[in-house]
């Protein structure tokens, strides 16, 4: 329980820059006999068992917490761990499908695309700064960039609050277009054509 509390408290710093999912399964392994004692009126019975689920409510670091703990005998561990392996495999499939559905046609869903706008602008600064400066002799401002989709051409669009001359120069520059594709692949998992377009950023 203390280990779980420690991990839960660590989640804040671990997930600060990205979304994560955690699942905790608490197992207490006993290399001894496990006995269930049942009290009923004046009768007491004892039964040898190999596992027992225990729901615990406890206070750690001034916080209430409820956990299910599975007590296992050592001889039962190998058999009992198999369902957890199956659960892990199912979780992997579930979250991979969830992840894929999030990115599917994401640039065509503006509200969903804008969820990754901070990451997009960081990538713009990381990859496009050099070719942008080479063309314009101006400092790149990531806040002037947005991402969209052209229904006319069926392509991704990187929108910039910039002059027509700058937009034209970027579209004609192979290095800039290559960087644009790299940015969209990294942030949006988009692997297609892209062009620059002027836009007012609000």
Residue showing tokens 């836009």? 199
pLDDT the model gives residue 202: 45
pLDDT the model gives residue 17: 62
Among 175, 168, 174, CA closest to 196: 168
Among 64, 184, 88, CA closest to 128: 184
- Name the residue ranges covered by the structural domains of the chain: 2-104, 107-198
pLDDT the model gives residue 148: 94
- Quote the distance between the C-alpha of residue 152 and its chain's center: 32
pLDDT the model gives residue 102: 94
- Quote the distance between the C-alpha of residue 38 and its chain's center: 45
Distance, first Cα to last Cα, the chain = 48
Cα(173)–Cα(196) distance, integer angstroms = 11
The answer to whether residue 91 scores a pLDDT higher than 60 is yes
pLDDT the model gives residue 59: 77
- 121-139 average pLDDT score: 94
If one compares 56 and 88, the residue with the highest pLDDT of the two is 88
Q: pLDDT tens digits for 35-68?
A: 999 998 889 999 999 999 988 887 777 778 788 8
Query: Is residue 160 within 8 Å of residue 196, measured between CB atoms?
Result: yes
CA distances from residue 88 to 16, 24, 31, 84, 139 in whole angstroms, order as listed: 24, 11, 25, 6, 47
In sequence order, what E strands does the chain have? 26-30, 34-40, 43-49, 51-60, 63-73, 145-150, 155-160, 194-198
pLDDT the model gives residue 201: 47
Mean pLDDT of all residues belonging to the chain = 89
Among 20, 201, 16, 183, CA closest to 107: 183
């Amino acid at each position: 329980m203390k280990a779980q509390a420690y991990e839960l408290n660590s989640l804040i710093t671990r997930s600060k820059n990205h979304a994560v999912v955690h699942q905790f399964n608490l197992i207490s392994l006993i290399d001894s006999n496990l006995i269930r004692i049942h009290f009923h009126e004046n009768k007491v019975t004892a039964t040898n068992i190999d596992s027992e689920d225990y729901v615990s409510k406890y206070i750690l670091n001034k916080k209430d917490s409820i956990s299910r703990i599975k007590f296992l005998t050592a001889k039962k561990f190998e058999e009992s761990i198999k369902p957890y392996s199956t659960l892990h495999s199912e979780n992997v499939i579930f979250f991979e499908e969830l992840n894929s559905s999030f990115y599917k046609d994401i640039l065509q869903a503006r509200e969903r695309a804008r969820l990754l706008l901070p990451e997009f602008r960081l990538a713009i600064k990381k990859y496009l700064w050099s070719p942008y400066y080479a063309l314009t002799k101006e400092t790149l401002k990531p806040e002037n960039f947005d991402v969209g989709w052209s229904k006319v051409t069926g392509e991704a669009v990187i929108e910039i609050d910039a002059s027509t001359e700058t937009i034209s120069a970027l579209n004609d520059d192979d290095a800039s277009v290559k960087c644009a594709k790299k940015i969209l692949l990294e942030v949006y998992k988009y692997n297609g054509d892209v062009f620059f377009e002027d836009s007012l950023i609000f």
